[in-house]
């Protein structure tokens, strides 16, 4: 049986420490008011049983609360008072330095929370540890100086989640759409080195890889680039190769016509495309940014972004190469091809690729094959998106954060070069439980929690105000987001809708269950769920009018926070069946992972909630191995096109390095009561000797997850 120390380290339960603590408190009171040795033993055993019955590892604070309760149950109130005083004194000592213990456990790789905070960060690496250490300092400064105390207290209690507090001390933002077109066409500067316009596709890909790494090191969220911005350089390669081939033929004394020259040149174009795509794939997965992980990058593949004719054909060739190379995968240390986490791929479904009669149907079939094997690409419906985004089709920033529709001073729609300022997420389940089922009280508490979120988001906005462009030249001076002068501030980019700031939400399913006694998929409960979503949108509209900042409702991709929220709910309200009885709460508006529902019904149901999450949302369906059933994949893709803006298919892609097994690595409960990953073929549980890829938050994770998220993965039911 394990417990979590204050430093985050996970250790075995030790009953002698409880006995010793109670004995110390016991000695502080008069003999007549003391507990007997037998009573202390009973108290300790009762606390041990509470820990054993818990559905997760309890932390020290929770265990000490249980000790207090047991002492008072025994009627030893003076002993309880002494014990509380002892705790308070120890707390004062700890508060004099709030970071040292955390940092030491991070360095020694003993901090379980840090180990499982991000499924794409390896906590054993020095670069990751350095990032986490800096993050502890930032959180300490944020808690003590930068955030209103009410906001931080609400964050600590799990009423809200103030995202990325480990980066808040710096003047940096969340995620963005990189204006790669401007940087490649007009040149840029990387690390004080001038980079001119590339003269071929492969060179453009090399430059793009460097831009991606620089951008990732200057912010803390995801970024997206367009395949079209790269494919514009295919024709540069074509012209270069035609000239080279012609000169080679002439030098060899071969008389060749234009058709022959073009055929040979085109063969070299295809090789150059493959070389460039491979450069991006391998650069992205091998680069290490300053935050200790590979760049969180999304590649957007939309055929109609290119005009009809040769440019669209060139883009199609690039997309084909991307898909073929992703199907192949990348080699791990043993030389086995596995599924990489990045780049995340998005493929847009439109009239020219959605049916067998469409000119690019073959690309869609290749995308289906890629999804079945490697879990990507994910799919955007151009048809539905145009309905929701004023006729526009554009990519998210990273995994799901979408910009609002915006027109520049020339009245043209603009998306590339824009960004998100940050996120604060509202715990809807806590609002429901706090209201005790009273609807009037529910809306009253909702308003109070929204005010906390507003204060948190304005703190983030104000933290960015006054930021000088010099802090990240690649972003603000050299074209990724703007071309400001040195010394300029980014203030004008923070208002008037140029950038967004996100009000996140989590646990709509459990919230509705508590308030109505039914799942939000029940027709009688759905109206309440939609009313909650509308309330979030109304708040954003009010704040936007007040501050001239684009607040937007965002379906938060809780990763580690799903466990934090669940722990806080259990501590505040106990175990409530169907509401707080899991070690996770449901992401955003999603149907609960345990609910039996058909894939098509799930997508149709969730589509109405995507409309009310304009700041970002993604839906998924859990499917079995479909590598041998591509028609099923294609049918889901066609349904996505007709019914929902943004969705993905969750398959599995695992490999055991111990025995070579390439089927599904399973989740088991080990001898300590913890969930663990185990190869069903050889019994291997060493995470360093297996590759497990799962999509948890709109992106693929490969470095494992905390106990809450692992339970959520284990309990997923198939939708197809």
| Choice among 158, 555, 698, 708 that is catalytic | 698
The predicted structure's pLDDT at residue 106: 47
**Peptide bond before residue 111 is cis, with ω within 30 degrees of 0:** no
As a whole-number percent, the residues of the chain with pLDDT over 70 amount to 91
Active site residue 399: yes
User: What's the pLDDT at 711?
Assistant: 87
Closest CA to 638 of 649, 628, 627: 649
559 as an active site residue: the answer is: yes
Burial of 298 (0-12, 13-18, 19+ CB in 10 A): buried
**Residues 263-273 pLDDT 10s:** 999 999 999 99
* Local structure of 500: helix, strand or coil: strand
Least confident of 403-412, 674-683, 704-713: 704-713
**Residue 143 confidence (pLDDT):** 84
Tell me whether domains 149-173+421-619 and 176-388 share a fold.
Answer: yes
Enter the pTM of the model.
0.85
698 is catalytic: yes
pLDDT tens across 630-656, in order?
999 999 999 999 999 999 999 887 889
| Residue 38: C-alpha distances to residues 20, 45, 47, 344 (Å) | 14, 11, 14, 60
Catalytic residue among 118, 202, 420, 583: 420
Average pLDDT score over residue span 87-105 = 59
Catalytic residue, chosen from 51, 397, 515, 540, is 397
Q: What is the CATH number that goes with domain 176-388?
A: 3.20.70.20
Percent with pLDDT over 90 in the chain: 66
Displacement of CA 99 from its chain's centroid (Å): 26
Mean pLDDT over the full length of the chain: 90
Least confident of 69-78, 562-571, 612-621, 687-696: 687-696
Q: How confident is the model at residue 292 (pLDDT cuts 50, 70, 90)?
A: low
Residue among 240, 300, 250, 311 nearest 272 (CA): 240
Q: What is the pLDDT of residues 120-174, one digit of tens each?
A: 555 556 666 666 666 677 787 888 888 999 999 999 999 999 999 888 988 999 9
In degrees, rounded to 5, the angle at the alpha carbon of residue 653 between the alpha carbons of residues 650 and 655 is 160
Name the least confident of 105-109, 137-141, 592-596. 105-109
Which member of 274, 401, 583, 691 is catalytic? 401
- Active site residue: 133, 317, 365, 399, which one? 399
- For 551-571, the pLDDT digits (tens) are 999 999 887 888 899 999 999
Is residue 174 among the annotated active site residues?
Answer: yes
The C-alpha atoms of residue 131 and residue 290 are separated, in whole angstroms, by: 7
Written as one string, the DSSP assignment of 370-410 is HHHHHS--EEEEHHHHHHHTTT-----BTTTB-PPP-B-TT
Q: Can you give the residue ranges of every domain in the chain?
A: 2-148, 149-173+421-619, 176-388
Considering the candidates 174, 435, 653, 657, report the single residue annotated as catalytic: 174
User: Sheet harboring 176-177: ordered strands across?
Assistant: 176-177, 223-226, 297-301, 344-349, 378-381, 646-650, 619-622
Higher-confidence position of 328 and 83: 328
Give yes or no for residue 704 having a pLDDT over 70: no
Of 175, 183, 637, 656, which one is the catalytic site residue?
175
| Band (332; pLDDT cuts 50, 70, 90) | confident
Q: Coil, strand or helix: which one is 57?
A: coil
Residue among 554, 563, 641, 646 flagged as catalytic: 554
Better pLDDT: 319 or 44:
319
- Assess whether pLDDT exceeds 50 at residue 455: yes
Q: In this predicted structure, which of 54-63, 215-224, 352-361, 465-474 has the lowest mean pLDDT?
A: 54-63
Q: How high is the pLDDT of residue 321? A: 98
At residue 276 the predicted structure's pLDDT band, cuts being 50, 70 and 90, is: very high
- H helices of 142-301, in order, are 149-157, 180-186, 201-216, 227-231, 234-251, 258-286
pLDDT over 50 (residue 119): no
Q: Average of pLDDT values for 407-435?
A: 97
Tell me, rounded to whole angstroms, the distance of Cα 363 from its chain centroid: 28
CATH fold of 149-173+421-619 reads Anaerobic Ribonucleotide-triphosphate Reductase Large Chain (3.20.70)
DSSP 468: B
């Amino acid at each position: 049986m394990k417990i979590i120390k204050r430093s985050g380290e996970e250790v075995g339960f030790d009953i002698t420490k409880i006995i010793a603590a109670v004995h110390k408190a016991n000695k502080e009171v008069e003999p007549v008011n003391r507990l007997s040795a037998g009573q202390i033993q009973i108290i300790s055993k009762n606390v041990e049983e509470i820990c054993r019955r818990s559905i997760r590892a309890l932390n020290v604070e929770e265990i000490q609360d249980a000790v207090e309760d047991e002492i008072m149950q025994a009627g030893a109130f003076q002993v309880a008072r002494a014990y509380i005083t002892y705790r308070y004194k120890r707390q004062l000592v700890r508060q004099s330095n709030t970071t040292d213990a955390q940092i030491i456990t991070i360095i020694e790789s003993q901090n379980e929370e840090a180990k499982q905070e991000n499924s794409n960060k390896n906590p054993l690496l020095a670069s990751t540890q350095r990032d986490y250490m800096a993050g502890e300092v930032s959180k300490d400064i944020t808690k003590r100086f930068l955030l209103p105390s009410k906001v931080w207290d609400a964050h600590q209690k799990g009423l809200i989640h103030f995202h990325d507090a480990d980066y808040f001390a710096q003047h940096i933002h969340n995620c963005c759409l990189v204006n790669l077109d401007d940087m490649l066409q007009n040149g840029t500067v990387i690390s004080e080195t001038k980079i001119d316009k590339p003269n071929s596709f492969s060179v453009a890909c090399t430059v793009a890889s460097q831009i991606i790494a620089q951008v990732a090191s200057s912010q803390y969220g995801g970024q997206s680039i367009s395949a079209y911005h790269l494919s514009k350089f295919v024709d540069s390669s074509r012209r270069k190769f035609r000239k080279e081939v012609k000169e080679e033929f002439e030098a060899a004394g071969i008389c060749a016509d234009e058709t022959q020259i073009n055929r040979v040149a085109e063969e070299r174009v295809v090789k150059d495309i493959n070389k460039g795509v491979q450069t991006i794939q391998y650069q992205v997965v091998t680069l290490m940014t300053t935050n200790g992980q590979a760049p969180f990058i999304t590649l957007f593949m939309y055929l109609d972004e290119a005009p009809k004719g040769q440019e669209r054909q060139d883009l199609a060739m690039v997309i084909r190469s991307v898909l073929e190379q992703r199907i192949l995968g990348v080699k791990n240390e043993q030389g086995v091809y596995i599924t990489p986490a990045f780049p995340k791929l998005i493929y847009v479904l439109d009239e020219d690729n959605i049916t067998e009669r469409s000119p690019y149907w073959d690309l869609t079939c290749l995308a289906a094959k890629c999804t079945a094997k490697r879990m990507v690409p994910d799919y955007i419906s151009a048809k539905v998106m145009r309905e929701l985004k004023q006729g526009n089709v554009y990519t998210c920033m990273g995994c799901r954060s979408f910009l609002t529709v915006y027109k520049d001073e020339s009245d043209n729609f603009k998306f590339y070069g824009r960004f998100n300022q940050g996120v604060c997420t509202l715990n809807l389940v806590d609002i429901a439980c706090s209201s005790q089922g009273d609807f009037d009280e529910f809306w009253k508490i909702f308003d109070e929690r929204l005010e906390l979120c507003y204060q948190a988001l304005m703190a983030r906005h104000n933290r960015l105000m006054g930021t000088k462009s010099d802090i990240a030249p690649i972003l603000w001076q050299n074209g990724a987001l703007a071309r400001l002068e040195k010394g300029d501030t980014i203030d004008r980019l923070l208002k008037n809708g140029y950038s967004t700031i996100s009000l996140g939400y989590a646990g709509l399913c459990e919230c509705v269950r508590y308030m109505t006694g039914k799942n939000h998929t029940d027709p009688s409960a759905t109206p309440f769920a939609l009313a909650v979503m509308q309330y979030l949108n109304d708040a954003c509209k009010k704040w936007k009018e007040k501050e001239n900042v684009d607040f937007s409702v965002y379906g938060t991709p809780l990763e580690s926070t799903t466990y934090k929220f669940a722990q806080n709910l259990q501590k505040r309200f106990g175990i409530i069946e169907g509401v707080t009885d899991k070690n996770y709460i449901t992401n955003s508006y999603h149907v609960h992972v345990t609910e039996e529902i058909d894939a098509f019904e799930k997508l149709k149901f969730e589509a109405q909630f995507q409309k009310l999450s304009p700041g970002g949302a993604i839906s998924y369906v859990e499917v079995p191995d479909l590598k041998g059933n591509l028609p099923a994949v294609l049918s889901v893709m066609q349904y996505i096109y007709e019914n929902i803006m943004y969705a993905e298919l969750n398959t599995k892609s695992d490999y055991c390095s111990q025995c070579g097994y390439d089927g599904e690595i399973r989740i088991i409960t080990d001898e300590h009561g913890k969930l663990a990953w185990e190869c069903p073929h050889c019994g291997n549980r060493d995470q360093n000797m297996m590759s497990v890829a799962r999509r948890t938050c709109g992106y693929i994770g490969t470095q494992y997850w905390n106990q809450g998220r692992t339970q959520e993965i284990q309990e997923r039911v198939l939708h197809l």
